[in-house]
Amino acid sequence: MFGIEIFSDKSIRDDERAMIIKAAQQTAVLYGCSFIVKSDDRWSEEGHPDIPDSCSELMSEVPCDDKGRKNVSRIMDLMTEVRRALGKQGAMIIFTAEDLFLKENWCFGAARVGKGVSVQSICRFRDLPKADMQAVITRTLRHEVGHIHKCAADPERPNTEMKYGRHCTSEGCTMRQSPTLKDLLRHAKEEDPENCLCELCRADLKNFKKDNY
Ligand SMILES: [Zn+2]
Ligand SMILES: [Zn+2]
């Protein structure tokens, strides 16, 4: 079984972690993978001399830009070092309430395709009604987990678009791009959380599993 560990930094509240747990349960059904949602921010009991002790410490090593946002590429570089130092086989995800950006644009989150690291922000979800907030947390998680599984990663594949990363264009598929909160909310509501990968993305998932599970 491909294990995905979810960490949250100190900006995430307990009620928000409960939403992340629910999101992970539905996403596990969709991908057939297992999740561990950590109740604290530490990677392991022992730690390691070359890396920050916790994801809060890792996040504090990444400075904010003049708009108060943190660079996802820098965060995922540090996560890649942590993953290597600890010899983790599956994937690691950090949830934060810090606002994030990729290149010049703010973003909900990002993942390194097939590389087992992702960071996701709830910053722009905090003003939503609770049910909507749950829906978009779940949608962001399942979308980024799709990138971790190399869904829609092949530009030669039909129904693939290359805009902010590679995405699927199939109707109802969770690997579609959601550039605004409005798009994200619409996608979150129209997709079936436990069955929203198109046939092409399901085939990509199957290929990834052949090599990695
Ligand atoms: Zn994406
Ligand atoms: Zn798809």
The rounded distance, in Å, linking the Cα atoms of 141 and 119 is 9
Cα-to-centroid distance, 116 and ligand 2 (Å)? 20
| C-beta of residue 94 within 8 angstroms of C-beta of residue 87 | no
Dihedral angle computed from the Cα positions of residues 17, 165, 188 and 144, in that order, rounded to the nearest 10 degrees: -30
Residue 45 Cα to ligand 1 midpoint, Å, equals 32
- How do residues 82-102 score in pLDDT, each as one tens digit? 999 999 999 999 999 999 999
Centroid of ligand 1 to alpha carbon of 60 (angstroms): 25
Residue extents of the structural domains in the chain: 3-150
Find the ligand nearest to 173 CA.
2
pLDDT of residue 104: 85
Q: In the prediction, which pLDDT does 47 show?
A: 80
What is the pLDDT averaged over residues 177-197? Answer: 95
- 52 pLDDT higher than 70: yes
**Which pLDDT score is estimated for 133?**
98
Ligand 2 centroid from CA 120, angstroms: 21
Ligand nearest to the CA of 120: 1
Decide if domain 3-150 falls under CATH 3.40.390.10.
yes
Ligand at minimal distance from the CA of 191 is 2
Instruction: Give per-residue pLDDT as tens, 141-172.
Output: 999 999 999 999 999 999 999 988 899 999 99
Angle at CA of residue 91, ends 12 and 28, nearest 5°? 80
Ligand nearest to the CA of 109: 1
Q: Give the number of the ligand closest to the Cα of residue 175.
A: 2
